[in-house]
Structure 1
Amino acid sequence: MRALQQCLTLAWRSLVQVRHNPWELGDYSIQPILFLVLFLFVFGGAVAGSTEDYLSFILPGVIVMNLVFVTVYVGHGLNSDLTKGVFDRLRALPIPRWAPLAGRILADMVKQVLCILLLLGVGFLLGFRMEAPWWGLPVMIVLLLAFALSFSWVMVLVGVMSRDPEHVQLFGFTALFPVTFVSNAFVPLETLPSWLQTLVALNPVTMLVDSCRGLLSGGPVLGPALGALVWAAIITAIFAPLSVRALNRRLMGQGGAA
């Protein structure tokens, strides 16, 4: 219980930092809203024939896209703590070594929930209505958070291995853009070239988007959701040990240098 309390305290520390850097909330609020509005009114007529039909298609895609992109800030914040010596001070305290890392990821999960609800609210104002049962919404949020948690380990590894926070954003967004846009988040799978459809169908972002569409507007849910969870488990199994090992090596190196 003490370790859990320490983890929650460090998560609260990460959330309180937003007061000193309010522009960080722009990536959780303003940016996804702009993406939603721009994609809807610029591509809606060309892709779906009308903005009304495209809204139910694009809203889950923008939610997933933003969820993947903002995981970069887990690595960004972790790298800032490492380069500024915050982790060195935390190591001197009687707390578990995993608490700072878990607190950082937990704070990001809170921000993710707020962003998802904000996008759904904007979608409702634009005319979106759920066609699936109400319980699909909490199930979708849990599924999204599970995938975000797994993908956060990728950004933790990037944050630990990067020289400074600027390189975290550079490497993170460079890697995430192909993963996000080579999917069916913005266009139907059947409109893509045949050689690309197989790759897109195997993309975990595609599976996550399909399951979200099913939970919000009706359609297949179980198959895409299981596929997304399998991908989440694989990503966690690979990147969590690599991230913890890289973090320990960096901390040991800093300790030796000191």
Structure 2
Amino acid sequence: MTTDTGTETAATPTGKKPEDLDALVKAPDAEELAALLVARDRPARPSALTSSLTFGWRAMLKIKHVPEQLFDVTAFPIMMVLMYAYLFGGALAGSVSSYIQFLLPGVLVMSIVMITMYTGLAINTDITKGVFDRFRTLPMWRPAPMVGYLLGDVVRYLIASAVILGVGLVIGYRPRGGVLGVLAGVALLMVFSFAFSWIWTMFGLMLRSEKSVMGVSMMVIFPLTFLSNVFVDPRTMPGWLQAFVNNSPVSHVATAVRELMAGNWPGADIAWSLGWAAFFLAVFGSATMRLYNRK
């Protein structure tokens, strides 16, 4: 009786020996890898416009999946128009129909300026979740995520403008400037709001929590909007307060929008509004990108 003392390599479940499998999965050499990598054309780098529009579409998709985000551009503007028109109309102008001619352009500016702060809240939320860490690794134009947020918010501003104007027309607002005057006023407001939103992008990057962004935003927005000519003519105010109100960026925009919708051409207020927009974009836009590159 003989015993086989030799060792025999066990077969794998596939019936092949390990050395056969090693031959099948042999790693390619350097030349083969180079051929695989170099032979294929790399996809073109997206342009600044394409990248920004992509992130703008992302902001729209977030609204699609969470439609409650439209509350601040639908229910809030309606509440603002009706509340201030019926609360102050009789006392300040004798009737709602008379007061709404002065009030509605101002409330339009006030409402849009107030909802710009949600840009900073959205950015801060994405930073907290770590989404921006992924954005910074992508081969694209660096400011694209910020610009995309703002472009998406411009759509929200347009929705709010349509809602406010619709409610105003129902309760008696009649713009003497017609359709062209209304469109010019809304266009000027969109330019100003886009630039003004960069303040909140800076706060969204700078502050640690969403509550902090909300608190600081309220501290800035409420004095700017309520200490303005949105509700009343500044000539009824004390002299020291007139000096602040007449030079407020919100007052310049409100006057320009009000006059454009009335069929006039307020050149000085339009120039002031565009100048403020350029200032906000240059100062806070550059500060936002400096923070974004550092964090």
- The two structures have a TM-score, normalised by structure 1, of 0.92
Task: Indicate conservation of the 8 Å contact 2:181/2:262, yes or no.
Answer: no
In structure 1, the residue matched to 2:175 is 130
The structural deviation recorded for 1:29 is: 1.1
In structure 1, the residue matched to 2:59 is 14
2:218 equivalent to 1:177: no
The structural deviation recorded for 1:219 is: 4.4
- AA in 2 matched with 1:159: G
In structure 2, the residue matched to 1:33 is 78
The structural deviation recorded for 1:51 is: 0.6
2:30 equivalent to 1:2: no
2:132 equivalent to 1:87: yes
My pick for the range that moved more, 238-247 or 16-25, is 16-25
My pick for the range that moved more, 87-96 or 240-249, is 87-96
Among candidates 97, 104, 117, match of residue 72 of structure 1: 117
- AA in 1 matched with 2:268: G
- AA in 2 matched with 1:2: P
In structure 1, the residue matched to 2:274 is 229
Identity %, equivalent residues: 38
In structure 1, the residue matched to 2:191 is 146
2:256 equivalent to 1:211: yes
Partner secondary structure for residue 184 of structure 1:
coil
The structural deviation recorded for 1:222 is: 1.3
Deviation digits for residues 114-137 of structure 1 (CA, Å, limit 9, x no counterpart) = 111111111111111111243212
In 1, the alpha carbon distance for the partners of 2:244 and 2:93 equals: 23
- AA in 2 matched with 1:8: L
My pick for the range that moved more, 50-59 or 216-225, is 216-225
In 1, the alpha carbon distance for the partners of 2:209 and 2:67 equals: 21
Partner secondary structure for residue 187 of structure 1:
coil
My pick for the range that moved more, 77-86 or 18-27, is 18-27
User: Whose helix proportion is higher, 1 or 2?
Assistant: 1
Deviation digits for residues 216-254 of structure 1 (CA, Å, limit 9, x no counterpart) = 12445211111111111122221111111112122xxxx
Cα RMSD after superposing both structures: 1.4
4+ long deviations beyond 4 Å: none
In structure 1, the residue matched to 2:292 is 247
Task: Indicate conservation of the 8 Å contact 2:150/2:197, yes or no.
Answer: yes
The structural deviation recorded for 1:91 is: 2.0
In structure 2, the residue matched to 1:103 is 148
In structure 2, the residue matched to 1:255 is none
Larger Rg: 2
Task: Indicate conservation of the 8 Å contact 2:228/2:245, yes or no.
Answer: yes
Matched pairs, number: 250
In 1, the alpha carbon distance for the partners of 2:257 and 2:237 equals: 21
